[in-house]
Amino acid sequence: MSDDTRPFPPFLLVDDDGWLDIYDNFEDLIGDLEAPFLDEIAWLVDGKARAVRLTARGDRIELAGMEPAVDQAGLYEAIDRFFDRWTMTSPPPHCDSESEYIASVAAQYRTAEFRPRKRKDR
């Protein structure tokens, strides 16, 4: 697998309820997922801000491919919404470098103060 097609950490996974998980390696990411959950993934991007596509082969989760880019505005919205609803921490600032943004999201997540339950939409 070439560097252009290999997923690059960290990985940001946002599910259909807006919850964000951060993974530092691909093996942990696919090890935590089960096939039925793949339909609940709203966003899955790597450290280079590329969309990661997964597929299930029986009980195994595998890399199906990489998309060269993601909808930056949509990703910003999903991340901002996560920090607003699930944490008491402000989201990281948006920036021109998508890979810097992904790194800042991962860093902010690791120090975030989480709410005991999801805050309602405002």
For the chain, the domains span 1-112
CA atoms of 119 and 47, how far apart (whole Å): 28
CB-neighbour burial class of residue 104 (10 A; exposed 0-12, middle 13-18, buried 19+):
middle
CA atoms of 35 and 56, how far apart (whole Å): 6
Number of Cβ within a 10 Å radius of residue 103: 16
| Tens digit of pLDDT at every position of the chain (122 positions) | 555 678 999 999 999 999 999 999 999 999 999 989 999 999 999 999 999 999 999 888 999 999 887 889 999 999 999 999 999 999 999 998 999 999 999 999 999 999 988 888 66
Q: What is the pLDDT of residue 122?
A: 60
Residue 69's Cα: distance from chain center in Å? 14
Q: What is the pLDDT of residue 70?
A: 82
Q: What is the pLDDT of residue 84?
A: 96
Q: What is the pLDDT of residue 30?
A: 93
Q: What is the pLDDT of residue 19?
A: 96
Q: What is the pLDDT of residue 2?
A: 53
Q: What is the pLDDT of residue 113?
A: 95
